[in-house]
Amino acid sequence: MNRLGRGDGSTSLAFNMHLFRTLNISRLLQRSISNGDKRRQIRCEEMLRQIGSGEAIISVANSEPGADIRTSRSLAEKVEGVGF
């Protein structure tokens, strides 16, 4: 992020906003492999596969009143013919 931001701050901000969650899952996958945590490795691989194939969309709802990034209670519900 630092290097990207030095070249173009707005690109760095956009990258962070749109890809940060996926990057964290990828890093968690690498740690899981290094630590031999097969269960977490399988979960991360499946999540990344779903994101890459368009089966899953991830989001962070950290503007929820009284909550931070670890205590969010927001839930997306699918509405037939409309989306989420």
Cα 12 from Cα 22, distance rounded (Å): 15
Mean pLDDT of 9-13: 87
Specify the pLDDT at position 61: 64
The predicted pLDDT at position 74 comes to: 73
Q: What is the pLDDT of residues 13-67, one digit of tens each?
A: 888 877 888 999 999 999 999 999 999 999 999 999 999 999 988 876 666 777 7
Question: Residue 75's pLDDT is what?
Answer: 76
pLDDT score for 40? 97
Take residue 61 and report the two structure tokens written for it: 């709802």
Cα–Cα–Cα angle for 70, 48, 51, nearest 5°? 90
- Residue 81's DSSP bridge partners are none
- Which tokens belong to 1? 């992020």
